[in-house]
A and B are shown apart, each in its own frame.
Chain A
Amino acid sequence: MTAALHRVARVRWYLLIGIVLLVAVNGFPFYWMALTSVKPGTELFSFPPTFFTTAPDFGGFQRLFETTNFLTYAKNSLIIATGATAVSVAVSALAAYGLTRFPFPGSRAFSTAILYAYTFAPIVIVVPLYGMFREAGLINNYLGMILAYASFGVPFSLWLLQPFFRAIPAELEEAAFVDGANRVKSAWYVVLPQAAPGLIAVSVFTFLLAWEDYLFARVLITQEHLKTLPIALHDLYNASLQDWPLLMAAAVLINVPVLIAFLFVQRYLVAGWGAGAIK
């Protein structure tokens, strides 16, 4: 009896150490980022550093909005990420429905090709895309960016969505047909709600992919007023004076949509990840 109790106590002990370590290592950089964004200048470089501040100073945020075009960058990021998500999800939802409901010769080959595309590295695609977009006049262009992000958004979404559509029983649709609905109606009212968790997960993932991307935006955007947030933040960092409260304020704000997505749809995120990313 006592031996068993001992074992439980020992297991709990390891568990506790593990959790504390994990939370500290993963959480501290976020805490430090948030803290730095509101640290008054006198505490910023003090040694030993302060781990809490009683006199928060929002000057970093103020300078961010007053001296940089932060809102413009945020607007660009929002438009591009939303557009890329809309295009990717609409196109891949149609394709996923088609692939799972109307298999035809060649649809399996297409599925496999999509899997290849899913593993594509942005660095491989961005080189020719830069050349092609330059010739087509799609550099410094919202549509160009949206199409560029669709290049990994569509394969990724389609790869994730197929299991969701396959899991919807055909009987549900058949019941709708018996009730007099046509294909389109049954797809809209019966299939779509069933696929909603997958669609939400895919939308969030695609949005985040576009939201956080650095490479495509760096290459395909050269004009100041079209920069996205990651590019703007990197350029602010490279500017001569490293104003850490300002940089961390920008970092905090870039993370806001990520956090919202994370908190509100984590259930779907895990479902989507589990179903699609690895079988």
Chain B
Amino acid sequence: MSLTRTTTGGPPHAGSGRRPLARPQGPRMPGWFWGALLLSPAFLLVLGVIAAPIAYLVRLSFTDAHAYLPRFGSVGFDNYAALLRAPHFWDSVRTTVWYAGLTVGLQLVLGVLIALLLHQKFHGRGVVRLVALAPYMVPSIVVALVWRWLLDPTTGAYSWFIDKVWPGSQPPNLLSPNLIFWSLIAVSVWMFTPFIVISVLARLQTIDPSTVEAATVDGAGAWRRFWNIVLPELKPVLYTLILLRFMFMFTKFDVVYLFAGTGTEVRTLPVLTFQRIFGEARLGSGAAVAMILFVLLMIFTTVYLRTLYRQREETA
């Protein structure tokens, strides 16, 4: 039958001699025409709101553009050179790497633990799952404000908690410049761990329970079962998660800015970009920072896609 051709060819009744009732009017179009037609709105949109802006970004990064001055001139690589020479740029790079590295590491450990927990059968699991995922769904402005309110040094609920655990101790000001970075780490981990939880949980559910049961019968303890059976199964998903989360945390702007502001101790590259452009109105210099982020992101993405495709081929 001609039916099997239809996934790649045109409509199935083309030339098959079937009654012409269903045949659309007009000349027959080849499959690629329909493919291109269906794809064109997405293509135009991506071209308009991603490709064109990136091209514009490249151009902007070589100029001395200023938000309030209409004209700008080319300055060659001056913006980049100035950045690479500026110590505060390297401070931002360091902060970004620490921020992304620490949050991803903690998210990963906690996320796997919580996923293992939620994989168990117990009463009310559905509700607990919802609670476990909730922080990821909340707007970052809400996360930032609620945590600023909880951690407020004079009126925050956390000082009561510290007082209960260590009576009489003076609770440290977690929003002060020397501790805000660590509070930001905690808040970010709180907010983004659910992403790991749900991804790992989805993967855990595909593990054949009989292999785990067999190991239990053979006397393998919980730790050995996890290390020898579950973890190898999770490894591929963990690799892609590490890459993906690192990319996301490396470029995270809103929760950093909203919770911790623009102080030097939390000025990651995205915050520096925002500050350059919307704080100092220096479009050209800000565009150069954004370009550096963009190039790093492209490198991460390429590695990420390689990993993903390799895994797909292995599992296929």
Report the Cα distance A197→B16, complex, angstroms: 34
On whether A99 and B39 interact (CB within 8 A), knowing A32-B150, A123-B274, the answer reads yes
On whether A150 and B45 interact (CB within 8 A), knowing A98-B37, A177-B12, A212-B138, the answer reads yes
Q: Chain B residues near A266: list those with CB within 8 A.
A: 130
Q: Please tell me if A78 contacts chain B, counting CB pairs below 8 Å.
A: no
A212 and B222 within 8 A (CB): no
On whether A151 and B49 interact (CB within 8 A), knowing A29-B150, A123-B251, A278-B199, the answer reads yes
Report the Cα distance A99→B41, complex, angstroms: 13
Q: Chain A residues near B237: list those with CB within 8 A.
A: 278-279
Q: Please tell me if B52 contacts chain A, counting CB pairs below 8 Å.
A: yes
Name the residue on B nearest A118 (C-beta). Answer: B301
B9-53 to A contact mask, C-beta < 8 Å, 1/0: 001110000110111100000011011111101110110111011
Report the Cα distance A92→B46, complex, angstroms: 11
Distance (Å) between the CB of B303 and the closest chain A CB? 11
On whether A127 and B297 interact (CB within 8 A), knowing A154-B45, A211-B139, A278-B199, the answer reads no
B137 and A258 within 8 A (CB): yes
Q: Chain A residues near B298: list those with CB within 8 A.
A: 116
B11 and A125 within 8 A (CB): no
Q: Please tell me if B97 contacts chain A, counting CB pairs below 8 Å.
A: no
The B contact surface, by secondary structure, is helix
Task: Pick the interface stretch among B54-62, B77-85, B86-94, B175-183.
Answer: B54-62
A132 and B56 within 8 A (CB): yes
Q: Please tell me if B266 contacts chain A, counting CB pairs below 8 Å.
A: no
Q: Chain B residues near A192: list those with CB within 8 A.
A: none
Distance (Å) between the CB of B21 and the closest chain A CB? 5
Distance (Å) between the CB of A197 and the closest chain B CB? 14
Q: Please tell me if A27 contacts chain B, counting CB pairs below 8 Å.
A: yes
Question: Chain B: residues with CB nearer than 8 A to chain A?
Answer: 3, 6-8, 11-13, 18-19, 21-24, 31-32, 34-39, 41-43, 45-46, 48-50, 52-54, 56-57, 60, 65, 113-114, 117, 120, 122, 128, 130-135, 137-143, 145-147, 149-150, 155, 157, 159-160, 163, 190, 195, 198-199, 202-203, 222, 237, 240-241, 244, 247-248, 251, 253-254, 257-258, 270, 273-274, 277-278, 283, 286-287, 290, 293-294, 297-298, 300-301, 304-305, 308, 311-312
Question: Chain A: residues with CB nearer than 8 A to chain B?
Answer: 11, 15, 18-19, 22-23, 25-27, 29-30, 32-33, 36, 44-45, 47-49, 87, 90-92, 94-95, 97-99, 101-105, 107, 110, 112-117, 119-125, 127-132, 147-148, 150-151, 154-155, 158, 170-171, 173-174, 177-178, 180-183, 208, 211-215, 218-219, 229-230, 233-234, 237, 244, 247-248, 251, 254-255, 258, 261-263, 266, 270, 273-274, 277-279
21 contacts between A and B (CB under 8 A): A32-B157, A44-B155, A47-B155, A91-B41, A98-B35, A101-B35, A116-B298, A116-B305, A127-B283, A128-B290, A132-B53, A155-B50, A170-B7, A212-B140, A213-B254, A233-B141, A248-B149, A255-B139, A277-B199, A278-B199, A279-B312
